[in-house]
DNA sequence: TTCGTCATGTAAGAAGTTACATGATTTC
DNA sequence: GAAATCATGTAACTTCTTACATGACGAA
């Protein structure tokens, strides 16, 4: 159908090639950004990612801790040991150089690959192989999945609202994107079901 | 914001763990499905993927050829050498067992992870770090990206229409999904720009 | 005292990517 | 005769994931 679909957007090496993202790799900038927004420990970075950008980016602890070390060596964050009792703990703060590096990354012009991996849509694509009844069941399953996502995102809206009133308005936008995208999928399911 | 976003959808191992997809792995079923839809060689599988499900699934030749061999060993496809002149070439057809295996996979109930990786949205999320002007530029870049996708997808609509009239109606649905999703992102950008 | 959460890692491995190699055939 | 496309791979490498290990703190 469309050689055109990918027009001009050669996939970036891996997901976040250092060369394509200014030397740190996308995960590194995500960690840097979260520290900039107030995450103090690696653990808090993980929490914040799970609570905010999980809809379009994930990261595991295994990537976070080495990233923090690299960022500190680069002078983009400063860390100090702040154990809780005898439990080790290291807290970080972004530096001026770190904030500048983050801004430079945000300003980088290059391509911004949008990569969706969705087994549900793959199955729907082949659904004609099934009978009409079973295909409709698959359609319903995909629809339900998006409804669950919408419900989950709606629960977070008040938090984003609060952040927005503090002056950070863009997290609200990315939340609305998530809502809009899944609502669009639900609507597409409904419209298709009508035409059947 | 939302521990809830991922509610109940533990990420599947890698992207397509064999255990989670009935023994072949998602890429294997994609190849099987494409052969079932008429792709004859590995090369044609690659072409078809690029022209149809590229919006939500990608696959590289390096995965296709081993998949074809595994599928043939499993008895899901039959292959025969059919060189073009002196150039080697192997063409395949799906078997009854293969069609049944594909249907079984489509009927599998398990979770259907929806995974989006989008550097553009990550950058937008952090956009408050920039000044309002530069942030707006980033918003415009994300918007433009979706517009390009919509334009590319629109070009393919006639093909999907034709396929639909041949009796395979679900490819049309997945194409409409792509259009709806990117249009939703454009609309979200516009609405946000108005409220600024 | 037991469970949930905070907190930081190591080890092993799956999956998928780019880059490269090769060569024939068709099209301009 | 050159360029684009058809066609099938190998090799090396990133990236990211799961599974596991460890242990302290706070609340019920």
Encode pLDDT of A142-194 as tens digits.
Answer: 999 999 999 999 988 999 999 999 999 999 999 999 999 999 999 999 999 99
pLDDT band at B30 (very low <50, low <70, confident <90, very high): very high
Residue A22 region, left (φ>0) first, then alpha (ψ -120 to 50), else beta?
Answer: left
Please check the confidence at residue B8 and state whether its pLDDT lies above 90. Answer: no
Half-sphere exposure of B99 (CA within 13 A, CB side): 11
Pairing verdict, β B77-81 and A114-118: unpaired
Measuring CA to CA, how many Å separate B193 from each of B120, B137, B186, B190?
16, 11, 11, 5
C-alpha span between B192 and A177 (Å, rounded)? 10
A124 near B CB under 8 A: yes
**Nucleotides in chain D with any atom closer than 7 Å to protein CB:** 6-12, 14-19, 23-26
Q: Which of A26, A122, A181 sits opposite B26 (nearest CB)?
A: A122
Q: Give the pair of three-digit tokens for residue A8.
A: 């001009």
Cα-atom radius of gyration of chain A, to the nearest Å?
Answer: 21
Within chain B, residue ranges assigned H as helices are: 26-36, 42-52, 61-73, 96-107, 119-125, 132-165, 170-195
pLDDT of residue A182: 98
Confidence of residue A83 (pLDDT cuts 50, 70, 90): confident
Q: How many other CB atoms sit within 10 Å of the CB of residue A110?
A: 10
- Which of B3, B5, B105, B172 would you mutate first to test chain A, the one with the most A CBs within 10 A? B5
- Determine the Cα–Cα distance for residues A145 and A9; give it in Å rounded to an integer: 29
Contact B47, B38 (CB under 8 A): no
Q: Which pLDDT value is given to residue A21? A: 63
Using DSSP's 3-state secondary structure scheme, residue A16 falls into coil
Question: How confident is residue A9, by pLDDT bands cut at 50, 70 and 90?
Answer: very low
Question: What are the phi and psi torsion angles at A115 (to 5°)?
Answer: -120, 115
Q: Which residues of B touch A181 (CB under 8 A)?
A: 181, 184-185
User: Cβ(A34)–Cβ(A92) under 8 Å?
Assistant: no
CA distance B18 to A182: 27
The pLDDT assigned to A22 comes to: 65
Contact flag, residue A85 CB and nucleic strand D, below 7 A:
yes
B154 contacts on A by Cβ (under 8 Å): none
CB A121 within 8 A of CB A192: no
Closest Cα partner for B39 from A126, A119, A134?
A126
pLDDT, residue B21, reads 63
**Cβ atoms B178, B153 nearer than 8 A:** yes
Closest CA to B63 of B14, B113, B117, B12: B14
3-state class of B126 per DSSP?
coil
Which tokens belong to B38? Answer: 């008429």
Are the C-beta atoms of residues A112 and B118 closer than 8 Å to each other?
A: yes
Whether residues B169 and A2 touch (CB distance < 8 A) is answered with: no
Nearest protein residue to nucleotide D5, judged by CA and C1' positions: B43
Number of C-beta neighbours around residue B161 at 10 A: 12
- Residue B22's pLDDT is what? 64
Question: Is B167 in Cβ contact with A116 (below 8 Å)?
Answer: no
Of B55, B60, B56, B64, the C-alpha closest to B29 is B64
Distance CA A90, CA B119 (A): 28
B175 CB-contact burial (10 Å; exposed 0-12 / middle 13-18 / buried 19+): buried
Count of Cβ atoms closer than 10 Å to residue B89 Cβ: 13
Contact B126 A26 (CB under 8 A): no
pLDDT at position A196 over 60? yes
Q: Kindly report the average pLDDT of chain B as a whole number.
A: 89
Tens of pLDDT along A94-149? Answer: 999 999 999 999 999 888 999 999 999 999 999 999 999 999 999 999 999 999 99
Closest CA to B148 of B115, B123, B116, B120: B120
């Amino acid at each position: 159908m469309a050689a055109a679909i990918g027009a001009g957007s050669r996939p970036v090496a891996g997901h976040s090639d250092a060369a394509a993202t200014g030397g740190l790799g996308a995960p590194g900038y995500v960690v840097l950004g979260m520290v900039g927004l107030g995450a103090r420990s690696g653990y808090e970075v993980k929490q914040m990612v799970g609570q905010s950008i999980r809809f379009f980016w994930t990261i595991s602890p295994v990537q976070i801790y080495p990233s923090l070390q690299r960022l500190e060596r680069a002078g983009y964050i400063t860390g100090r040991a702040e154990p809780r009792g005898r439990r080790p703990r290291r807290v970080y703060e972004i530096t001026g150089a770190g904030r500048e590096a983050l801004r430079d990354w945000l300003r980088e012009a290059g391509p911004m690959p949008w990569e969706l991996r969705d087994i549900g849509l793959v199955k729907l694509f082949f659904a004609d192989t099934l009978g009409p009844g079973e295909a409709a069941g698959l359609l319903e399953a995909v629809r339900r999945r998006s409804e669950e996502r919408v419900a989950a995102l709606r629960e977070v809206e008040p938090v984003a609202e609060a952040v927005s009133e503090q002056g950070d308005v863009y997290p609200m936008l990315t939340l609305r994107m998530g809502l809009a995208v899944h609502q669009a999928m639900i609507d597409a399911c409904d419209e298709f079901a009508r035409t059947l």
